[in-house]
Each structure stands twice: as structure tokens, then as C-alpha cells.
With several copies, the nearest count.
Chain A
Amino acid sequence: MDFKDSPAQAEFRHKVRQWLQANAPADNTLSRGGMESDEAMREGREWQARIYDAGWACLTWPKEYGGQGLTAIEQVIWSQEVAKFSTRDGFFAIGIGNCGPAIMLYGSDQQKQSLLPRMARADDIWCQLFSEPGAGSDVAGLKTRADKDGDSWKINGQKIWTSQAQYADYGVILTRTDPTLPKHKGLTMFFVDMKQPGVEVRPIKQADGGQAFNEVFFNDAVVPDVQRLGELNGGWGVALAVLMNERLAIGSVAPNGWPEYWDMIRKLELDGKPALEDSEVRRRTADWYVKNAGLKNAQARMLSAVANGGVPGAEASLGKLVGASMCQDISAYALDLFAEMGVCADEQMALMQAQFQKAYLYAPGLRVAGGTDEVMRNIIAEQVLGLPADVRVDKGVPFNEIKAGNIRQ
């Protein structure tokens, strides 16, 4: 065991650090907006173009598609170093992290050359259109149709939980092209111009009041067949490639509420004494310290595996599964410690700028985004532990004979 870089890794890290120090934006030059602000998006595009031009974007991609042909370890080093700066990288995670690799696997040469470098430079923003109101955990139960019309397809239906749809130039969309086939068999993947007629984006207001996601409605939106990714009715394989990357991306950044809590609990006083002098508070804090350490060290093991050329498997689900509930419980506990003031969500008045009140409200979203707790446990049970799948009553049944979504009784 050794946490130190190899000489080559150390040199790479040194270069990254030097470049970032010279080029990364200072925190005070950035707008206050989060993922929902136009200004932040503009800053993000500028940043991405700058790193692309300097040769730091998409490090593991082949050079011909805008990358640097490096290995995962350089990507890890870049991620570790860039995390120390206030840059805006989140906007492109789905495009570069999920859509790009899928296009690389399933796109034609022409598609790859025309799409990927523009994606890498954030000239084009991409989004991902899989989930539907009636198809969440059961993604393959989707109903959005693509019907052949000469050399084109007409898309009709509704997608949901689409991040960045309001900014996106393109989206990869999973559609049903043959509803008489069993549900995983009749799906086809396309990429679609998000600015074209027949595509309407509406923001979704979340339970916490935020609007990070969208619904996207398709009404006779036309897609030429050359924008198909992979085989006709072979879309499920493409989707799995995208979803695997989604899980990995999500596994690596799972928020768990700990840094904020640890910062708070060392300052908090209860009845005039430091909170940590109370043995219940102290030991509960220790419980979370240990859990957070486990998550941090598990992450280090995963990165270490990547550094050694491995690919993390379904165990990457763990960070998000554990982190989401931890975030919920730790926020609720913090609010309880604040006594009556726990209800006060006023940024000026509430302790710690109301961040625990906010976390209490967004934590339920963490428990479903990118796969519910229940889906995550299924993935671990089946893909890591090799346990048998659930009984599948829809197996082999034509899709149009399966009950799906909300059915009033």
C-alpha cells in the first residue's frame, strides 16, 4: 500500500497543478448561480473550451475525437486537482461522461468525428433522454415512440428528469420502435437536435423548490435515420452502456452531508457548552465520522483500482446508496439539535445559512436520482453478489400487453 504517486504520475500532477493555478478562475470571478443559472452555464462553457484548447479535456478519449489518449489514472489526477478549484465542470458530466462513451461504442465513424470533438469543447451541450413519468426504475418500460417515416423517424412522447435539457444542443433518446416485441427488444437509440420543432422543454419544480431537471415533450419531432445510434431495436444495449457510466459518475461524488455537519458540530453550543461535550452527540458524530471515513476510503480503493488499470464494477453504487440516506439522517439530526430553530429556513437567521434545512429537503432527491435505494440494492445483490433476479412477470411478453405506469383501479 502506498498513497504516493509514481514518478510519472507525480510529474503529470505537477503539470496539472501548475496549469490550474495559472488558469482556473478564482472563486470571486464566478457568478453566484448554480446549475440552474444561464450565467453559470456560460462560465462553464468558457471553462470547458479553455481546458479543451489547453489539452486537458476528455483525457481518456482518443486524440482524434478531441481527447488525449491517456489512461484513467491521469483522469483521476486531473479530477482530484481540479476539485480544489471553483470551476464549473458539472454541466458536461452527462454529455462527456455518459453520451460520449456511448457514441464512441455505437456511433459510426462519421458520427464520432463530427460530434465528439464539439462535445469535448462544449461547443455542443448534450443531455440524456431515458426516464419517463411511467418508466423510472423500470427504464425499459418506456413508451415514447419512434415511428418510421421514409428515411426519418417521428418521435412522440414525454421524457422526464432531464438535466440541462434547457441548454442542450443534442440529446440521446431511447425510444420504442416496436411495441409488439418484449420490452427490452423493441427499443432504439437516436440522437436528436434539441432545438428543432416538436421538442419542448419545461422545467420541473422539485420538492425542495429547486429546478435542476426538466420534462421534455416530443410531438412529431423528426429525426433522420442517420442519427440512429446502434442497431434498430438494439437500443437497450446502447442504454446500458450509457447507464453504466451514469452510475460511475454518480458513485464518485455522492454527497452525504458530512463535511457541513462536521464543520457545524465543532462550533455548535448546546446549553452553553460545546455540543461535542454531550456524550450522545459525540458518539453519534463518531458513528457518522466512521461512515464517512468508510465512504472516503472505499472511494480511495476504487480510484486505486482504476489507477491500476481496473474498472470499478457495480460496487460503485455503494457511495450513493449510503451517502443519500446518511445525508437525510444527518440533516434531520442537525435540525433536531437546533431545537425550535430547526424549522427556520431563513438564510439570514438560521444557523449555517440554513444549509441543513436545505439538505433535509434535497436529500429525498438523492435517494432516487440515478437509481433508487431499492434499485441500488438490487444491483449490488445481483451484479456483485450474484444473487438471482426478481421473478419477472413481463419477461418475453409483448410490450403492448404489459401493465406499466400509473393505473387507477
Chain B
Amino acid sequence: MNFEFSEEQKLVQQQARQFLTEQSPLSVVREVLERDASQVRIHEDVWQGIVKLGWPGVAIDEQYGGLGMGYLELCVLAEELGRSLAPTPFSSTVYLAAEALLLAGTEAQKERWLPAIATGGLVAGLAFVEATNGIAGQALNMRWQDGGLQGRKTPVFDAEMAQLLVVSAINEAGEPGFYLLETDQPSVRCESLTSIDPTRSIAAVEFSKAAADPMRQDLDFAATMGVIQDRAAVLFAFEQLGGAQACLEMATDYTRQRYAFGRPIASFQALKHKMADMFVAIELARSNAYYGAWSLSTGSDDLTEAACVARLSASDAYYQCSKENMQAHGGMGYTWELDCHLYYRRAQHLASVLGRQAYWKDRLIAEVA
């Protein structure tokens, strides 16, 4: 009976924290934040460091060039990435594209691309969303015809750096499916967009008869899409958890050291209880995320339930903690100079990245009722 990460996993986490503290401190995040519109919103050095450590392949089987450690290790890495706000295409590449490949790729596709992700620094992403449709939207307008993709996907996360995209589209028979596309072709046009979190990269991508490979044809599209989302939801929940925890620590540190009315402001119940509530939200979210990690790592058939629950409480906890951390910092928390807003921005980014809350709530109840 054990509901904690193992000592080995905690060691992975410690090492990850040390690496990120050294290589991706908030000054690095801020450097990306301050970049102008023409620059890519990803920190290349941090990303290369992560690739060298083999993190993208931590949960990829050894047969595909990965470390084959498993999802629990990936979860602890995700928590640290979330805590550090590291500006890399890790989530798009690893939580989303690699999992889509594993689930929907043909054997040949997996053999070709997974090793490149695991150790080669290949950046990949998903192009599923068509603006207002959302991941939860039913209607796909992207067309697959005459061996090419035609249409527009917005937003695509990390598209500017991605060499490979998994794209959803409908074929001439009107059936939805997954397609694998290399971006290095003139018929793929990527337009960067301003994000609410400028330390992350988003774009609109236009495909004009772009060459692409169909992925597995024998899949239930909706079910596969569901598994991709569920797995990603657990992993993103750990990023959210890491961010929320960082906010709580910032708030407690600051309010202990900030004096007003002759006392540390942390001694005022309005702030003490605010922080107690942040702790409570995090503990609930953490417990649900652990359940998600367990479910993901064991291939348990309650993954959908666990993923919905993990995602919903992590999104709520991060919103609460990031906004109340700003509040606990008073006027200073509202300055560009302090780091509070970096987390507040990231909280919204991560809350949006897998669609509406309502989608996850409906999915949960459909699963368990």
C-alpha cells in the first residue's frame, strides 16, 4: 500500500529541480518573456539541456530509443517543469505528440520518429484545434484529399519550432483521422500569435495541400483522441501542481518577510487563511494528480476518471494560487518586475491548453455516472 513516489523517483525529481534551478531560473524565463515579436518563444539552451538528459524519452520504451522508465518519472519531471516555468516545447513534444505517435502511429512511423523525440531533440506537436471549435469541438474542417492536408489549425502550441505535427483531418469519405506531417515544406505556413503567456509559443498554421502521412487507419478516432487527451491531462496536471506550489511558496516567503503595522503581514488572518486555502487546494489537486499518475502508470481502466479529476482540480488550484499569490504581494505583485504574473499567465495557458473546463466536467460525469 503506497501512494507516494518511490525514492528513485524522488531522486529523479531532485535532480530535475537542481538542473532547472541552475539552467532555467526565472531570469531565463523572463528573457523569453521580453523577446520581441520576431523571436521564438522557446529557450533553445534549456531545451537542449533537457534533451541531453534524455527527459523527452523518459517514458518511451527502449525499443524506440527511450529510457523506458515510465510515466511516474515523467510525472515528477512535469511537476518540476511546471514549477520552473521552463520555456521549452517539452509538453507539446512529449505529453502530446509522442503519445499520439504511440497510440496512432504505424509501426514504421513509431520507429522513425520516436527515437528522434526520445534523444534527437526533435520538436513535435499536435495540430488538432480549429479556433473556436476547441479540442472538444465536433466539427473538423481540415481536409485530407489527394495525399495532402488543406485547412487551418489555431492555436498550435510550439508550432514555430516543431518539425513534426500530428494533424487531425477528415478524409474524402468524411471520416476523421490522424496524419503525420513534416513542417519543413512551403505548403505549411506558420503565423506566430501573441499569447497571454509570452513565455510559451502559439501559432496559427495554414496547410495548403501539405504533404502528410496517414496514421493508423484501424482506430476509433474519438476513443484515440480521448486517450491522448487523458494522458496529457495527467501530465499537465503535474505541471499545474508544480506551478501552484511555487506560488504558495512565494506567498509564504514574501508575507513572512514583509512587515506592515509592525508585524509580518503573514500574521494577519486574512493572509494566513488565504494561504491555508491555497495549501488545501494544492493538497486536493496533488492527491488527485497522484491518482492520475497511478492510473496512467498502471494502464488502469479508470484513466478517464482519474484524468478528468486531476485536470479539473489542478486547473482550479493553479488559478487560485497564482491570483492569490499576486494579491498577497500587494501592489508589488502587480509589477512587471516581480515574478508573480509569470505564474498567473502560465496558469491561464495551462488551463486553456486542453480545452474548456466544461468539456472535462461533462467527460467525467459521462464516465462515472
Contact = CB atoms under 8 A, between A and B. Distances in A.
Interface residues of B, number: 104
B351 A141 contact: no
| Highest count of chain A CB atoms <10 Å: which of B262, B267, B294 | B262
A377 B270 contact: yes
Given A1-B5, A339-B352, A381-B276, A407 B288 contact: no
A186 to B, nearest CB: 15
B308 to A, nearest CB: 8
Contact of A290 (B193, B200, B338, B364): B364
B237 to A, nearest CB: 11
Contacts of A391: 263, 267
A344 to B, nearest CB: 5
A364 B5 CA distance: 36
B332 interface: yes
Given A141-B260, A206-B336, A349-B204, A9 B1 contact: yes
A20 B258 CA distance: 49
A345 B271 CA distance: 31
Given A332-B348, A377-B276, A386-B252, A1 B262 contact: no
Contacts of A209: 336
B29 interface: no
A226 interface: no
Interface in B332-369: 332-338, 340-341, 344-345, 348-349, 351-362, 364-365, 368-369
Given A271-B136, A381-B273, A337 B356 contact: yes
B361 A286 contact: yes
B11 interface: no
B287 A297 contact: yes
Interface in B1-32: 1-6
B279 interface: yes
A382 B5 CA distance: 26
A179 interface: no
A181 interface: no
Given A207-B326, A342-B352, A349 B257 contact: no
| Highest count of chain A CB atoms <10 Å: which of B200, B204, B283 | B283
A332 B194 contact: no
Interface string A195-210: 0000000001111110
A248 B336 CA distance: 28
B129 A318 contact: no
Contact of A345 (B195, B262, B267): B195
Contacts, number: 337
Contact of A365 (B2, B334, B349): B334
Contacts of B178: none
B228 interface: no
Contacts of B327: 364, 367-368, 372-373
A295 B276 contact: no
A340 B353 contact: yes
A291 B281 CA distance: 9
B323 to A, nearest CB: 6
B252 A339 contact: no
B286 to A, nearest CB: 8
Given A286-B312, A289-B368, A300-B287, A1 B297 contact: yes
B106 to A, nearest CB: 27
A114 to B, nearest CB: 33
Given A1-B290, A286-B365, A408-B257, A336 B352 contact: yes
Interface residues of A, number: 112
Interface string A375-409: 01110111011111111111001000011111111
Interface string A328-354: 100010011111111111110101001
Nearest to B9: A1
A141 to B, nearest CB: 6
A307 B2 contact: yes
A55 interface: no
Nearest to A266: B369
A140 to B, nearest CB: 9
B356 to A, nearest CB: 5
A38 interface: no
A406 B259 CA distance: 6
A90 to B, nearest CB: 19
B285 to A, nearest CB: 7
B275 interface: yes
Interface in B47-102: 72
B358 A280 contact: yes
A269 interface: yes
Interface stretch (A98-106, A116-124, A131-139): A131-139
19 contacts: A1-B297, A207-B341, A272-B138, A283-B358, A286-B362, A286-B364, A290-B288, A304-B3, A339-B132, A340-B354, A343-B155, A343-B197, A344-B155, A351-B132, A364-B340, A380-B279, A381-B266, A381-B273, A385-B252
Given A336-B356, A342-B351, A385-B276, 5 more contacts: A1-B290, A205-B336, A207-B333, A269-B132, A372-B327
The 4 A-B pairs at the shortest CB distance, nearest first, are namely A294-B284, A394-B262, A339-B134, A297-B287
Interface of B: 1-6, 72, 129, 131-139, 154-155, 193-197, 200, 202, 204, 248, 252, 255-273, 275-277, 279-280, 283-288, 290-291, 293-294, 297-298, 308-309, 312-313, 319, 323, 326-327, 330-338, 340-341, 344-345, 348-349, 351-362, 364-365, 368-369
